[in-house]
Amino acid sequence: MPFCPGCGHGIAIKNLSKALEGAGYDPLDVIVVSDIGCAGLVDPVLATHTIHGLHGRAPALALGISLGLSNPGKKVLAIQGDGGATIGLQHLLEAARRNVDMTLIVLNNLLYGMTGGQMSGLSTLEFKAGRHIEDDAPPFDIVRLTHEAGAAYSSRVTAPGDFKTHFAEALATPGFALVEVACLCPSHGVGKMKELVSVASGDLGLARRREPARVAFKETAPLFEKGRQTEAPFHSGIKERLGIVIAGSAGGGVQSTARLIANAGILSGLHATMKGEYPITVGTGFSLAEVILSTKEIHYTGLEVPDAVVAVTTDGLAKARSRIKPGTSVVLDSKLEESASCPNAIYGDFQKEAGKQGAALFAAVFWLVKEGMLEADALLEVARKHKHAKSLVEVIERGVGVG
């Protein structure tokens, strides 16, 4: 077990495994979704399908999986701690409200065990008082909350000898079922069961008869039929693969430029990926995008060594500078020439010619056409379908002329 010696999570997981075996599930019939925290260490323990998500999001992921399954014989199981349950409480309640066919196990050791023993939204007043914490806010009662939200089954259990029975009842329930398990945390919390029982919320079992909201799986036509080839209307000069980084500032059209190039690549018979990067202050700071165009399938979208870097602002160059490697073609706005220290860079008056909002597109089109990577008509075809078609087409035509 990956847990600390004496941790109650290990006892709970062993009983859960026995309950799954007792219910007749094959390991590959079970999908386990976990999230951050000590409870999230369960992934390598169970020989099932596993998905590891963000803190508190296990119920949301499990809900989506359950609704998307084509085989109702599968069992979707989410596991999280009391920290995850309170951080993602809305996800938990939404799954209960929809009564989706899934089981959620909350391993409640009354604290955040992985980060040092801080209190969670399920820490009881008795537990906090014993730790001399002056916080009189009562804990959430997630058993009652999920019941009122619409869960078909919800229970709380403190005695390890009862874990398996409660798990079996939850697994057999059609619809949303929750089991909150009182667990020991010998490192930061309570290390003995008799002490845990005195500070944990008491056992509780609630059930209501509701039909599960499992949505019937509908077979839909795939977006692209495997193996079907369509003749590309445009030609590309890319022999194998091109990776290009486009960098500028917020509001400079960097992301739309990258999408336009990726779509033009697809129209040219290429495989394409596009990824954007920008700070959480979306309206200010840098904006960077990566585009990969390839004659072969792209199995990894990372771009550690780009073939070209196009940067049109100081923010953009600062972010992209570390990506410039020996052999990387560099295209920069002329305003960056003094500070860039890139002797082999190609400079152009991109901001002057196209303004701050069009500079990134102008520079990228200039280089792509100049190097014969994409046809101008492919770029124009994509631009004409954009909501800002008029301005984009104008910038591309000017960039093509310069190129």
| Interatomic CA distance for residues 403 and 399, integer angstroms | 6
At 289-336, the pLDDT tens digits run: 999 999 999 999 999 899 999 999 999 999 999 999 999 999 999 999
- What is the DSSP track for 326-388? TT-EEEEEGGGHHHH--TT-EEE-HHHHHHHHHHHHHHHHHHHHHTTSB-HHHHHHHHTTSTT
Q: How confident is the model at residue 240 (pLDDT cuts 50, 70, 90)?
A: very high
Q: Kindly state the percentage of the chain with pLDDT values over 90.
A: 75
CB 134 within 8 A of CB 114: no
Q: Kindly state the percentage of the chain with pLDDT values over 70.
A: 95
Q: What is the pLDDT of residue 218?
A: 59
- Domain(s) labelled CATH 3.40.920.10 in the chain stretch across 241-402
Which of the 8 DSSP states describes residue 173? S
> What is the separation, in whole angstroms, between the first and last Cα of the chain?
62
CB 87 within 8 A of CB 43: no
Nearest to 19 by CA among 139, 165, 162, 128: 165
Rounded average pLDDT over 145-164: 94
CA Rg, the chain, in Å? 28
Nearest to 387 by CA among 236, 199, 260, 235: 260
Q: How far is CA 105 from the centre of its chain?
A: 22
Asked if the model's pLDDT at residue 110 lies above 70, the reply is yes
* Mean pLDDT score across all residues of the chain: 91
Asked if the model's pLDDT at residue 386 lies above 70, the reply is yes
At 7-61, the pLDDT tens digits run: 999 999 999 999 999 999 999 999 999 999 999 999 889 999 999 999 999 999 9
- What is the DSSP track for 118-164? EE-TT--HHHHHHTT----PPPP-HHHHHHHHT-SEEEEE--HHHHH
Which of the pair, 219 or 250, is modelled with greater confidence? 250
CATH architecture of 8-207: 3-Layer(aba) Sandwich (3.40)
354: left (phi over 0), alpha (psi -120 to 50) or beta: alpha
| Interatomic CA distance for residues 11 and 260, integer angstroms | 54
355: left (phi over 0), alpha (psi -120 to 50) or beta: left
- Domain(s) labelled CATH 3.40.50.970 in the chain stretch across 8-207
Which amino acid type is present at position 246?
I
Whether the pTM exceeds 0.85: the reply is no
Q: How confident is the model at residue 338 (pLDDT cuts 50, 70, 90)?
A: confident
Q: 241-402 adopts what CATH topology? A: Pyruvate-ferredoxin Oxidoreductase; domain 3 (3.40.920)
The C-alpha angle with vertex 50 and arms to 46 and 53, in degrees rounded to 5, equals: 125
| Interatomic CA distance for residues 156 and 82, integer angstroms | 13
Rounded average pLDDT over 56-69: 93
